[in-house]
């Protein structure tokens, strides 16, 4: 079946309606002339106008309607696809934007941490039979952090001279930070007598909890010569 444009159908429909109207007009004139019409012709014209359209033209009209509907459905499907594609593109942009923001926040947090000199109290070190002063100080720098290390070092230097086995003969205070008694440091690790990292972690926690920070503890020490 060949395609029929909407314009062509409109012309065909108008022609059919005109033809039927002409026939009805002739019949109406005849009835008026003879005076024998038993009922108004207008009613007959009203009820038979669409029925008088040839069957072939009705089929063509139905076919055109289906084509128009198919085109409309296709347009709707295309619009949906475009909307879905736009949504996917926007979602990808939003995800990229969020990742960029998260990365920036992580970088900022790392910068703040570095600037504040915050250490890593959970740092672990290999166990050795003995440790040099330089090794012990390197542990302290990593655990305490650069921001508080000098204050921590000032206290340790005066308390034990960085000797992790130092023992006060009169009081029994022990280790780098001269805990009294030394067994207090067992809360940081069972190896408190031989592991300087355990002593440093305990000493840092003590200074933070009692004074607020190693630097606050150092200020107190300068006045009282103990902490």
Q: What digits encode the pLDDT tens for the residues 87-128? A: 999 999 998 889 888 887 765 555 545 545 578 989 999 999
The 8-class DSSP code of residue 185 comes to: G
Q: What SS3 class is residue 174?
A: strand
C-alpha of 74 from chain center:
35
Looking at 121-189, list the stretches that DSSP marks H as alpha helix, in order from N- to C-terminal side. 133-144, 146-159
Contact 218, 155 (CB under 8 A): yes
Candidates 146, 136, 122; CA nearest to 177 is 136
- Residue 100, token pair as written in the block: 């960029």
- Residue 64, token pair as written in the block: 């055109």
Mean pLDDT, rounded, of the chain: 80
Q: What does the pLDDT profile of the chain (227 residues) look like in tens digits?
A: 444 444 443 444 444 444 434 434 434 444 444 444 444 444 444 554 555 666 666 667 778 888 888 888 888 888 988 899 899 999 999 988 898 888 877 655 555 455 455 789 899 999 999 999 999 999 999 999 999 999 999 999 999 999 999 999 999 999 999 999 999 999 999 999 999 999 999 999 999 999 999 999 999 999 999 99
- State the Cα–Cα distance between residues 139 and 120, nearest whole angstrom: 10
The 8-class DSSP code of residue 49 comes to: T
> Can you name the residues that pair with 167 across neighbouring β-strands?
174
- Residue 158, token pair as written in the block: 């005066």
Q: Which residues contact 172 (CB under 8 A, 6 or more apart)?
A: 180, 181, 182
Q: Which domains does the chain have, with CATH numbers?
A: 133-224 (1.10.530.10)
- Tell me how far CA of residue 159 lies from CA of 5, 148, 154, in angstroms: 102, 17, 9
* pTM, to two decimals: 0.51
- Residue 106, token pair as written in the block: 């992580």
Exposure of 47 by Cβ count < 10 A (0-12 exposed, 13-18 middle, 19+ buried)? Answer: exposed
- Residue 211, token pair as written in the block: 């004074």
- State the Cα–Cα distance between residues 84 and 89, nearest whole angstrom: 9
């Amino acid at each position: 079946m060949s395609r029929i444009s909407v314009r062509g159908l409109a012309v065909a429909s108008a022609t059919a309606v005109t033809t039927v109207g002409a026939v009805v007009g002739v019949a109406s004139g005849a009835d008026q002339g003879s005076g024998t019409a038993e009922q108004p012709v207008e009613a007959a014209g009203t009820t038979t106008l669409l029925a008088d359209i040839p069957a072939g033209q009705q089929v063509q009209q139905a076919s055109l309607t289906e084509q128009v509907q198919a085109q409309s459905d296709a347009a709707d499907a295309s619009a949906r696809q475009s909307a879905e594609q736009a949504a996917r593109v926007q979602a990808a942009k939003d995800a990229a934007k969020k990742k960029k923001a998260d990365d920036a926040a992580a970088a900022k947090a790392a910068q703040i941490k570095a600037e504040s000199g915050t250490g890593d109290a959970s740092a672990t070190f290999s166990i050795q039979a003995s440790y040099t002063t330089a090794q012990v100080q390197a542990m302290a720098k990593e655990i305490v952090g650069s921001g508080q290390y000098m204050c921590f070092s000032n206290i340790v230097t005066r308390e034990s001279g960085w000797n992790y086995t130092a023992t006060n003969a009169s009081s029994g205070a022990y280790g780098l930070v001269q805990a009294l008694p030394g067994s207090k440091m067992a809360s940081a690790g069972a190896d408190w007598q031989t592991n300087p990292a355990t002593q440093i972690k305990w000493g840092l926690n003590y200074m933070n909890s009692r004074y607020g920070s190693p630097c606050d503890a150092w200020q107190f020490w300068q006045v009282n010569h103990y902490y």
